[in-house]
A = this chain, B = another copy of it.
Amino acid sequence: MKRNGYLNATPERLDATFTALADPTRRAILARLVAGEATVTELAAPFDMSQPAISKHLKVLERAGLVSRGRDAQRRPCRLEARPLREATDWLENYRDYWEESYQRLDALLDELKTGEGTSTE
C-alpha cells in the first residue's frame, strides 16, 4: 500500500532529518521557506537570537539536505529541498496501518461508551 517509485532514505539521512526537525526554530525556518527563498538575515529576523545561531541552525538543515543555498552577491539565499521531507514521510507511512488500527480501536471504544451506556457488556 505504498505509492512509492522513488529511492529510500539511508539511516544516516533519517538521523539527520529527524534531528533537524526536532528543533522548533528549525521547523519555523522550514515553514517560512515554503513561501519561497529567503536570505539568512530574513530568516533570522523573527527570532530573538543572534545571526550566528541561525547560521548554525541552517547548517544543521543543510546537513540533512532540507535546505540548499544559492548565491546572490553577498547574500546566500536558502531554498527548501523536498527530498528528505518525502523520505521522512515515507518512513512514517510504514506505521500508518498501525496507528489507524489503534484509532479504530479507540473509536470503537468511544462508540461503545457513548451509545452503550447500559446496553453493553455490563
Q: Interface on A for B, CB 8 Å cutoff?
A: 6, 11, 14-15, 18-19, 21-24, 27, 30, 34, 80-83, 85-86, 88-89, 92-93, 95-96, 98-99, 101-103
Contacts and interface: CB of A to CB of B under 8 A. Distances in A.
Contact of A14 (B6, B27, B83, B85): B27
A14 to B, nearest CB: 7
A98 to B, nearest CB: 6
A21 B91 CA distance: 10
Contacts of A99: 82-83, 85-86, 89
Q: Select the residue from A85, A93, A96 with max chain B CB neighbours within 10 A.
A: A85
Given A18-B21, A22-B19, A34 B98 contact: yes
